[in-house]
Structure formats: C-alpha cells, structure tokens
Amino acid sequence: MSLVLFLVAGLFLPLFPASIVFNRGLARPNGPGRRALLLILWPQLGVLLITLAPAPVPDWLAAWALATAFLYAFRAVALRDLGLWIGFLATSAWALLWLSDSTRALRHLEALGLSLPLVLLTLLGGRLETLLGAVSTRLSPGLAASAPRYGGVLVLGVLASIATPVAPGFFTLVATIAARPLGASAVVITLVWLLWTWSGARLIQGLVVGPGSGERVPDLSSSAAWAYGMALAGLGLGGIAMAEVVL
Amino acid sequence: MLSMLVLPLTGALLGHLLAEALGRRVARLSIGLSLATFAISLVLLSRMLGGGPAGSLALSDHWGLLLLDPLSSLMAVVVSGISLIVHLFSRRYMAEEAGYARFFVLLDLMTATLLLMVSAGDLITLLVAWHLVGVLLYFLLGQDVRNPTASRYGSWTLLTYRIGDLPLVLAAGLLFHAYGTWSLPEIFAAMGTSPQAQVLGTPLPEVVGGLIALSAFARSAQFLVHTWLPYTMGGPTPVSALMHAGIVNAGGFLINRFAPVFVHTGDVLHWVFLMGLVTAVIGSVMMLAQHDVKKALGYSTMGQMGFMIMECGVGAFSLAVYHLIAHGVFKGTLFLGAGGVIGEARRDDGVPKDDLYTFVVERRPARQRRPWLLMAAMTLAVPAAILFVSHYLVEEGFFHHQGAVVLLFFGWITGAQLIFATYRMRTENLARLFTLILVSFTVVVLGYTLISHAFDLFLYPDPALRSGIYAAAGIQVVWFDALVVLVTVVIVLGWLFTYYAEQRRGRGRDWLAGLRRVSYRAISRELFVSDFYGRAARRMLAGAERLNIWLRWS
C-alpha cells in the first residue's frame, strides 16, 4: 500500500522520470493563471499522498529524490527561458520534500513556501511573455534599465525562489539539513542549493542586467509594483513566521 | 542594541519609499542615520570597556537572539564606523551615477546585515545574516545595471560566497543535531561540558571547526576561493572600500565567534595556519605582478587576509581582530584615495628621480656588500635569540604562546626588511641604518605584545578560554623549533638569492632566466586558477545543455 502511494506521489513531488510529465504539462501554452494553480496544487497532492502512507519514506526513495533534485538543479544552470527555469526549480525543490521530517501540516506549508515565489515569477513572466513572445535571456531585455520596477520585482522573485533568507525556502532547507546532517544527503542538498544560486544568478544576469536590446518593455504600473512588493514582503514575513514552527 | 539594527533598516526603508520625493537628499537621510548608528555603537563599546555586563536580547523563541558582548560591541563600532565613512564618501562620489537612491538603500541594508551578523547569538540569525551579506554585495557590485561585466563578477562573488555559506549551514545542522539548540551560548556551554561528541567517528568539534574554517576561508578570500576578490574592481569605489575594509574580514570574526569550539579541536587550527600562510605568500607575490592599482590593492587584501587567518591558526585570535580593524582602516583609506591618486598620477607622476626611485622602479639597487651580509647575519641571529629567550628565560607558560613568537618573528622580518630596503641606498651611515632596524624590532615586539595583551583581556576575559585557544593551536616544541629553523633557512636563502641575482643582473644563467620567465608568466596569469575555474564552469554548462537536449527540455 505504502509503495503504491509513494509511486503515485512520485508524479506530484516529481521524481525523475515521472518529473517529465509535470514539466511537459507546465510548458504547454496555458495562461499564467493555470500554471500558477498547477504550481500550488501539484506538490500539495504529493505531500498528501506521502503523508497518507503508513510507512516512512524508504532510504532508496529518499536517495532517488535527492538525485532528482540534483539533476534538475544542474540542468537549470543551462536554461535561458524563465518558464522552463520555473519548472526545473519546482521539480528540484519539491523533490527535497521527500526528505523532510516535518509533520503533515508543516510539509504542506513547506511545499507552499517553495511554490509561492515560483507562482509570483509565473505571473510576472506571463505578462512579459505576452509582450515579447518569450522570456528568454537570449532576448537580453535589460529589464533593470528599460523597466526598473519589473526588473526589481523579478530579481526579488528569483532570490526568493532560490531560498535566499528570509524566504520560506531558506528555513525549509536549513530544517531539512538539520534533520539529517550526518549523511551524504546534507552535502547533496547544499550542492543543490549552490546550483540554484548559480542558475538564478545567470537568469538575473541575462534578463535584468545590460543595456537592453532596444525592444521597448513597458514597466509595471506603480500599483502593480506595490502589489508584487507586498506579496514579496508577505513571503518574507511568512518565512520568518514559518521559521518558528519548522526549526 | 536593537536600535543599532533598526536605524540602518529605517534608512533603507525610507530611502526606498521617499526616493522620488527626496532626490539627492536621500544621502543626507542615510548619513544621518549612519551617524546615529555609529554613536550608539560607540556608547555600547564604551560601556563594555567600562566593565558593563554582557547581555542578550531574544526577538523570538528559536532564533533572533542578539548578543552584546566584547566581540560584538567592538565589531559593531568597526562596521558602523567604516559604513559611515563610505556613506560620507559616496554622497559626492556617486552623485553622477544612476541609481543614487538605490545605492544608499543597499548600503543601509548592508550595514544592518553586517551589524546583525556580528551580534548574532544563534545559528539561524548568523546564517541569515551570513547569506544576506553575499546577496547584498552582489547588488552593490552590480550597481551599474548596464554593465554586464560588473554584474558577471558580482555573480562570481555571490557564488563563491554561497560556496562558503554551505559549510556553515552544515556546521549549524551538526551542532543542532548534537545539542538540540540553535543558541550559541547554550551550544558553547554544552560543548564545554561534553566536548567528546562524535560525528561519523570523528570528534564533533573537529568537524564543526573544519567547516567553520572553510566558511571563513571563502569569505576572507583564501587561496583557491580568492579569485572573486581582485576581479570585483568594476564595482563602484566606495563598494570596493566597504568590501576590502569590512566584509572580507568576516572570516576572522567568524573564527573568533566560534572560539569556544576551536579550543576543543586538535589539528584544525594547524590547517588554518597553513592556509593563511599559503594565501599570504601567494597574495603578496601576485600583488607585485599587478600593473593596475586597484587590482594590486585587491591582491594586497588577499595577502593581508592570509596573515589574519594565519594569526587565528597560531591561536592569536584577538590579534586577528586587531589586524582586521587596522587593515580595514588603512585599506579603506587606500581605496577611497585610489581614484584621486590615479588622477593625480596622470597629470604628474610626482616620483623624484632619486636613489629610492631607481631602486623601486628601475630595480637598480646600490651595490654594497656589507649591509647585505650584516642583515643576513641579523636575520639568522634574531630567531635564534627569540628561541633562546622563549625557551630558557621567559616563564614556562610562554610555550602556550608559540604562535605569538612566530608572529613576532614574521613582523620583525617584514619591518626590518622594509626599513633596510628603503634606507640602505640613502645612507652611508651603517650605524643609523641598524639602529633603525633595531628600533623597528622594538616597536614590533612592544606593539604586538601590548596590543595582543589588551585585546586578549578585552575579548577573552576568561583566562581558561585564552590559554585553551593557544593550547589548541600549539604544536610540539620539537616541531616548533624545526619550523622556526626552516623558516630562518628559507629567509636567509632568499636574501642570498636576491643579493646574488642583483649582483649578476644581466649576466644570469639561461636556466635561471627561463625559470624567472615561467614563474612570471604563471604569476601574471594568477597561477591559472581563474582559467581553470572558467573552463570547468564552461564544461559544466555545456554538459547541462547536452543533458537538456537529450531529455528534450523537460
């Protein structure tokens, strides 16, 4: 029974190669709203399934999850497209939830904390995609110069996604490492974290920095920037509050 | 204590919200709050110096503990002082740059983060601050958002810092797993009563000490994780000053903060010493091969950081704190003055064509055999005298302070050599020359001894902890003697080699000239370390791309 639940959960807290299903689904030409919904609900189903299983996650499955997290973090380094990056980072981050020792409620919270920054990025990226056709570093939009509010929010969203303090992901990762610091898993998690940082820095470098390609990118309105800013601040405050319960 | 953190945060928040309304006046607001922060930190330090009690403030149950102790109060003055100078300098220096308000917001955030780091009383707060310093530095270095080069090197810095963050995360995880608390005072107390805890068959303090040292190495640009430092000169000059005067010194602070862990280690401090030594030598050698002033200053910082880490490695923890303060002050001055010096030199090099010029620039030393031989003899005699004095005349406990002896020796050699090189071509008066050298020796000995003693008493009032640190760094007397002899031989051979190389200038052997060319090429290419990292990164990217194509991007 547990094994069946775990194998089905491997689709929702994606384990390679089942992760291909999620990433193909996310890459389909849906609107940003649907993608955002997928990013929120998909891991919650996975968490529900693994917490329903009567047995704890076996070691081989935890190792598989770690390998998946590493694989997608490594592959994310070479990505130039924001949409693909969101999918790969989600896959890599959610796979780490297999290693969490938290209670069911906390795992749902951790999954949400890892998803929300990616949801923000999806909503932001959808807007830009409508304007430019794609959100790729190949277009070198130089957002910081051409659309500073847009660039600023995008940068903060990427930072929150790669588990920069005080985003919820930071505390989730620290708690996961602290739960099992003796084995190789802690070292692999830190390497995954490092690869997220590298891929995030490359994305920021390609999308935000530079003189711009000449394509005019309309900036976020003041009210939209405020809304995104408040959402990011809420994410930070949520992370601080979450630290109280996960640590 | 909390107000010290809240003021720069308020500055950042107001600076962001009122940027349009205030315009250039945002700098005044930021400077005013920086001044207030500095004043508060001075008050806290003076209270601590006056014998005030150490304290703490808990902002929540599990983390957010702020410590007010001698180390945090001293470091707070350093951080807020350097930050204030950088703020003042930036007001006019950055006036023509885009993103003026953003720059001051980032400066304020960096100040708050650094203050949080030095006063962190638990592992989570420390990790949060430690991580954020790297992120904020990334944005400060990439202040010119149109300049991809500055941003690329900023990314490099961020990545190196993250490499250094991760061992600290692992160390935090291990400590929490072993003692069930994030609080540093509680962990140190528990470790004091049961330091025998094991991790995979290795003593816990040994593993944790090693991980903390690795974190300190990355933050303080030790060899192999140093490449970000000289390449970040594309950032604004005030950021270079802040980075070289303050941020890069964090490695020394971290080792001091975890001193109660290091007293229980066996070999970790010896490795720390070795790493510092290698970095000091390589940083100094690379500095000599630079033609760009700011890059030379970057490598000079690397050498100084190596020396600071070396001081930690020999157990002179408090001396390392003094070193980082002194280095911060003089390197900050140099960076802030570098632009002016370059501008001045473009108009007039101002170098007098005298003996000093011909020696330093044209590399034509005055040819006198007697001073060289006398100096070499003294180089040999002084360490022997130090050994004799420390072994037979000074109290037995002096053996615990072997590190201090090594540092005195290094300090004396450096100072004496500088005076010798500077004055020997100017004077025919040998008595004056050697009096100067002996005076330098006295100044170094007295200065180091007094300062070390004063800092020791202030930072580590517990005599058991003080002697424990020196004991952890100590080595067997035989090895100590052998090392001093080895260093003496190397220095004397270096003197002789330099002397004969200068004497035979232009008439050297082919193999020697070839060796010199190869060495120079390797040093000027920074020992190919950056090339290697660049190639490794490109290969990883190509590998990831191939994998993505193979898996059809999903």
Residue B7 lies in domain: 1-121
Residue where a domain terminates, one of B350, B385, B405: B350
Kindly state whether residues B16 and B47 are assigned to the same domain. yes
Identify the DSSP state of B224.
T
Classify residue B538: in a domain, yes or no: yes
Identify the DSSP state of A219.
P
DSSP three-state, residue B13: helix
- Partner A contacted by B155 (CB < 8 A): yes
Q: A13-39: buried (b, 16+ CB within 10 Å) or exposed (e) per residue?
A: bbbbebbeebbeebbeeeebeebbebb
Please measure the distance between the N-terminal and C-terminal CA atoms of chain A and give it in whole angstroms: 31
Q: Give the nearest partner residue to B544 out of A78, A142, A159, using CB atoms.
A: A78
Q: Is B493 exposed, middle or buried (0-12, 13-18, 19+ CB in 10 A)?
A: exposed
Kindly state whether residues B515 and B491 are assigned to the same domain. no
Name the domain count of chain B: 4
Three-state helix/strand/coil letters over B156-208: HHHHHHHHHHHHHHHHHHHHHHHHCCCEHHHHHHHHHHCCCCEECCEEHHHHH
- Partner B contacted by A25 (CB < 8 A): no
Blockwise average pLDDT, block size 10, chain B, 554 residues: 91 92 91 96 95 90 92 96 95 90 96 96 97 95 88 91 95 94 95 83 92 96 92 84 90 96 93 94 88 82 92 90 89 80 70 59 55 63 61 54 62 61 57 70 70 88 90 83 78 75 66 82 89 95 96 91
Interchain pair A174, B146: CB under 8 A: no
Angstrom distance (rounded) from CA B236 to CA B139: 11
Classify residue B439: in a domain, yes or no: yes
pTM metric for this prediction = 0.91
Confidence of residue A161 (pLDDT cuts 50, 70, 90): very high
- Partner B contacted by A42 (CB < 8 A): no
Domain ranges of chain A: 2-246
Dig out the tokens for A16 from the structure.
Answer: 């390679």
How much of chain B is helix, strand and coil, in % rounded to 5?
A: 80, 5, 20
Kindly state whether residues B294 and B390 are assigned to the same domain. no
Dig out the tokens for B389 from the structure.
Answer: 């004095």
Interchain pair B128, A166: CB under 8 A: yes
What distance lies between CA A25 and its chain's CA centroid? 16
Residue where a domain terminates, one of B76, B92, B121: B121
Kindly state whether residues B176 and B311 are assigned to the same domain. yes
Kindly state whether residues B210 and B330 are assigned to the same domain. yes
Asked if B527 and A58 count as a contact pair (C-beta separation under 8 A), the reply is: no
- Partner B contacted by A181 (CB < 8 A): yes
Interchain pair B148, A209: CB under 8 A: yes
- pLDDT of residue A29 exceeding 80, the answer is no
Angstrom distance (rounded) from CA B529 to CA B534: 9
Kindly state whether residues B513 and B409 are assigned to the same domain. no
Identify the DSSP state of B234.
G
Kindly state whether residues B512 and B491 are assigned to the same domain. no
Asked if B215 and B165 count as a contact pair (C-beta separation under 8 A), the reply is: yes
- Partner A contacted by B21 (CB < 8 A): no
B545 CB neighbours in chain A (<8 A) are 78
Mutate to test the interface with B, among A159, A190, A230 (most CBs of B within 10 A): A190
Angstrom distance (rounded) from CA B538 to CA B519: 27
Find, in chain B, the residue whose alpha carbon is nearest to that of A91. Answer: B554
Classify residue B76: in a domain, yes or no: yes
| pLDDT of res. B235 | 82
Interchain pair A209, B163: CB under 8 A: no
Interface of A with B in 189-228 (CB under 8 A): 190-191, 193-194, 197-198, 201-202, 204-205, 208-211
Lowest-confidence pick of A108-112, A208-212, B25-29, B80-84: A208-212
ipTM: 0.95
Q: Is A108 exposed, middle or buried (0-12, 13-18, 19+ CB in 10 A)?
A: middle
Query: Min CA distance, A205 vs chain B (Å)?
Result: 7
Kindly state whether residues B333 and B190 are assigned to the same domain. yes
Asked if B271 and B308 count as a contact pair (C-beta separation under 8 A), the reply is: no
Residue where a domain terminates, one of B74, B94, B121: B121
A174 CB neighbours in chain B (<8 A) are 124, 127, 169, 172-173
- Look at the block and give the residue holding tokens 């430019």: A132
Classify residue B311: in a domain, yes or no: yes
Strand B198-199 and strand B202-203: the pairing is antiparallel
Helix (H) or strand (E) holding A12: helix A2-12
- Partner A contacted by B62 (CB < 8 A): yes
Angstrom distance (rounded) from CA A62 to CA B43: 52
* DSSP secondary structure, B350-411, as one string: ----SHHHHHHTS------HHHHHHHHHHHHHHHHHHHHIIIIIS-GGGGGGHHHHHHHHHH
Q: Which residues contact B99 (CB under 8 A, 6 or more apart)?
A: B143, B144, B145
